Amino acid sequence: MINLYKADGNVLVSVDTLAELDPSQNVLWIDLLNPSREEDIAVEEFLKISIPTQEDMKESEPSARLYDEHGADYMTMQAVSLIDLEQPKKCPITFILHTNALVTVRYEDFASLHIYADRAKKKNGVPMASAQGIMFDIIESFINRIADTLETLDEGIDKISDAIFRSKKISIKRKNEIFQASIRKIGGKGDMLGMLRESLTGITRLLSHHNARMPENPPKPVRIKMNSLTRDVAALADHANFLSGKMGFLLDATLGLINLEQNQIIKIFSVAAVVFLPPTLIASMYGMNFQNMPELQSAWGYPITLIVMLVSALIPLAYFQKKGWL
């Protein structure tokens, strides 16, 4: 599918048909979503450039994602789709910045592009009506989307923290269920955070690459926008690092609490073994079936032995309690 947009003042207007892809239409943004070969050829002939295939976008090494060819600047970065469905998927998107137009090539649908396209169609939706300005606005839309997702992750991490550290007056079985669910949630959020951090790294590399190829003294709006995007990405990278540390702490804390619960269970069995050891020793002594055991002939032998066994069990319990081991 191909989406064509041209500028009408500071507003983007959709161009409905591929037949209108000619210089007289002043098309500024060409958005290729799962393009057919015919659509690729039409854009290639219009701008005299080559459109990378899906395999090219996926197989390219990080160092080969940023290059110049045929007078156009090719910039590929990893973006995250399906965030709202909590099924995040890492997918590449390529920006081809040509003198006359911006081409975006993607094989996944990104909410960030829908948000930008809807906003750009409104009054003053395009502050800089140029291919470069549109690229900056699209990148800003991705950055805003990442910022919203990081905030959502932060809230989710706080909920996990509450579940872990405030689960006191509940059964051990329920605690274990909470701990296991928390580990799974932390793992899922960690995967998403890793994708977002990789996307931020890609945006940073893209901006650095483009900044190195801009004129020495770019127009003030361009310079301001570039600096703003760079600062936003750096701030979000710091926030992502903070969340990564927070999740690492929660994971360690959860595993530590699970170990404590297991140690409590092991301690119960250890105490039981020590408590029953003296009575068992006494009982085994009188179970040796020797004939010369005068206590066996006494009428008080049995109750006295029971009392001795009980006292021998209480002495370790009292000692453990005094030491604070119970």
pLDDT per residue as tens digits for the range 125-159: 777 778 888 999 999 999 999 999 999 999 999 99
Examine the fold and report which residue of 233, 261, 289 is the final residue of a domain before the chain moves on.
261
Residue 169 pLDDT more than 80?
Answer: no
Average pLDDT over the chain, rounded to whole?
Answer: 85
217 and 271: one domain? no
66 within 8 A of 205, measured Cβ to Cβ: yes
CATH number at residue 281: 1.20.58.340
CB atoms within 10 A of CB 204: 17
95 within 8 A of 112, measured Cβ to Cβ: no
Closest CA to 176 of 251, 257, 101, 110: 257
Q: Do the strands 12-15 and 27-33 form a parallel or antiparallel pair, or are they unpaired?
A: unpaired
CATH number at residue 65: 3.30.460.20
CB atoms within 10 A of CB 65: 20
Higher pLDDT, residue 276 or 225? 225
226 and 317: one domain? no
Q: Residue 249: CA atoms inside 13 Å, Cβ hemisphere, count?
A: 11
Least confident of 82-86, 152-156, 226-230, 275-279: 82-86
Closest CA to 207 of 236, 227, 193: 227
**What DSSP assignment string belongs to 193-245?**
HHHHHHHHHHHHHHHHHHHHTS-SS--HHHHHHHHHHHHHHHHHHHHHHHHHH
Torsion of CA 200, 201, 203, 209, to 10 degrees: 160
288: left (phi over 0), alpha (psi -120 to 50) or beta: alpha
295 and 227: one domain? no
pLDDT digits (tens, 9 = 90+) for 236-268: 999 999 999 999 999 999 898 888 888 878 888
Look at residue 18 in the predicted model and tell me its pLDDT: 62
Closest CA to 32 of 123, 116, 94, 112: 94
138 and 272: one domain? no
Determine the structural domain holding residue 231 and report its residue range: 2-261
Count: domains in the chain? 2
Dist. CA 54–CA 229, nearest whole Å: 27
281 and 229: one domain? no
Residue 294 pLDDT more than 70?
Answer: yes
- Residue bearing tokens 């002594």: 285
Share of the chain above pLDDT 90, in %: 28
241 and 306: one domain? no
255 and 283: one domain? no
The H or E element that residue 79 is part of is strand 72-81
Residues paired with residue 90 on neighbouring β-strands, in sequence order? 80
The H or E element that residue 37 is part of is helix 37-47
Higher pLDDT, residue 320 or 132? 132
211 and 271: one domain? no
pLDDT digits (tens, 9 = 90+) for 24-57: 567 888 999 998 888 888 888 888 888 888 888 8
Residue 23 pLDDT more than 70?
Answer: no
271 and 216: one domain? no
Examine the fold and report which residue of 261, 293, 312 is the final residue of a domain before the chain moves on.
261
Examine the fold and report which residue of 235, 261, 287 is the final residue of a domain before the chain moves on.
261
Q: At what angle do helices 220-285 and 131-165 cross, to 10 degrees?
A: 20
pLDDT digits (tens, 9 = 90+) for 297-319: 777 777 888 888 888 888 888 88
116 and 196: one domain? yes
pLDDT digits (tens, 9 = 90+) for 186-207: 999 999 999 999 999 999 999 9
93 within 8 A of 79, measured Cβ to Cβ: yes
155 and 175: one domain? yes
Look at residue 122 in the predicted model and tell me its pLDDT: 85
SS3 content of the chain, % helix, strand, coil (to 5): 65, 15, 25
242 and 274: one domain? no
The H or E element that residue 323 is part of is helix 301-323
- Residue bearing tokens 């892809």: 21
Closest CA to 138 of 164, 165, 157, 118: 118
